[in-house]
Amino acid sequence: METKWLEDFISLVETNNFSRSAALRHVTQPAFSRRIQSLENWLGTDLIDRTSYPTRLTPAGVVFYEQALEMLSKINGARELLRSKRAAAQTSIDLAVPHTLSLTFVPKWLTSLEDNFAPIRSRLMALNVHDAVLQLVEGGCDLLLCYHHPRQPVQLDPGRYDMLVLGRESLRAYARCDKNKVPEFRLPGTKRAPLPFLSYTNNAYLGRMVELILGDAKTPLHLEPHYETDMAEGLKMMALEGRGIAFLPESAVTRELKQKQLARADGDTADWEIEMDIRLYRERPSASRPGKAIVERLWHFLEQQQHGGAGKRRVPVSER
């Protein structure tokens, strides 16, 4: 059993509404329903009376609700106890980051902070976008770094969370270079000869970005799925093997483009690409949840940088 199933069930009891709870838990309604069913399967009994509206608990659900509250309270209590024992935690920054950004953006960003802000002790959790957002919402990290697009936004309450835009990222189609240093596959393909397509899984954020590209394309693309994974790095490796076309973040292929191992498969046109923000989020400090001092100083530094006031100031040791 997963703790998020308990949190889903408690949310459903409190809202009496699958759609509302799914939105609060940052998942689609079908995914939320599957997680409730997974909990019921694990327990071996129905918790929700699905013959009534609004949502109502079965007798077993009523009993389990009290148990779920108690279990989650003990789990969270144990986590807080252990965290309080980590003296070093107050001087370390916990980052939740999607896999791709953890490999492409974060190393250079942390190096820049070392040069311009201060040496930083950090703990990175590489996750999918959905789970990275949940880490922030559930208090499992100090900062969330992720992609954002207006048509696939990160659903975080601006009244509770602060946000900074750290950069932009382009998502485009790439293919392996042949011996003449030109791409082996070129968009758009044809109906009679569709191009081998290396795609993301349905639950991947970059997969939803690719769907926007394909949906907006003025010239239809003819692609035949050959391989699927939720990680851009996995698609890049398949593209390097010459297995097809992959839509990849520009920062993920910088070295391969320079070495002429990969090339743009879109003819350098902007018709088949999309741009995303790279955003940093934190929970806004409050009297009850003040957050770490090191995070507050870093956030202030980044805000000054964006307004051109930070310069090259390093934080003295006495201020860390």
Task: Write the pLDDT tens digit of every residue in 109-159.
Answer: 999 999 999 888 999 999 988 889 999 998 899 999 999 999 999 889 999
Q: Using one digit for the tens of pLDDT, what is the confidence trace for 166-217?
A: 999 999 999 999 999 999 999 999 999 999 999 999 889 999 999 999 999 9
The answer to whether residues 144 and 26 touch, using CB atoms and an 8 Å cutoff, is no
pLDDT of residue 225: 96
Residues carrying CATH 1.10.10.10, the chain: 3-85
- Residue 317 pLDDT > 50: no
Confidence of residue 83 (pLDDT cuts 50, 70, 90): low
What mean pLDDT comes out for the span 63-87? 76
Look at residue 312 in the predicted model and tell me its pLDDT: 44
Confidence of residue 297 (pLDDT cuts 50, 70, 90): very high
Residue 245: the pLDDT is: 98
According to DSSP, residue 317 is labeled G
Angle CA 51–54–55, to nearest 5 = 65
Q: What is the pLDDT of residues 97-110, one digit of tens each?
A: 999 999 999 999 99
Residue 245 DSSP SS3: strand
Tell me, letter by letter, the H, E, C secondary structure of 118-145: CCCEEEEEEECHHHHHHHHHCCCCCEEE
Q: Which residue has the tokens 């980590």?
A: 86
- 3-state DSSP: the chain helix, strand, coil percent, rounded to 5? 45, 25, 35
Give the right CATH number for 87-320 from 3.40.190.290, 3.30.390.30, 3.40.640.10, 3.20.190.10. 3.40.190.290
CATH of 3-85, one of 3.40.50.2000, 3.40.50.970, 1.10.3720.10, 1.10.10.10: 1.10.10.10
pLDDT of 8 over the 80 cut: yes
Whether a cis peptide bond, with omega within 30° of 0, leads into 290 is: no
Three-state secondary-structure class, residue 313? coil
CATH 3.40.190.290 range(s) for the chain read 87-320
Please count the other Cβ atoms lying within 10 Å of the Cβ belonging to residue 64: 21
C-alpha dihedral (95, 97, 101, 106), degrees to nearest 10:
0
Q: What is the pLDDT of residue 309?
A: 54
> Which two three-digit tokens encode residue 81?
């106890």
Q: Which residues pair with 127 in a beta bridge?
A: 98
- The whole-angstrom separation of Cα 149 and Cα 174 is 21
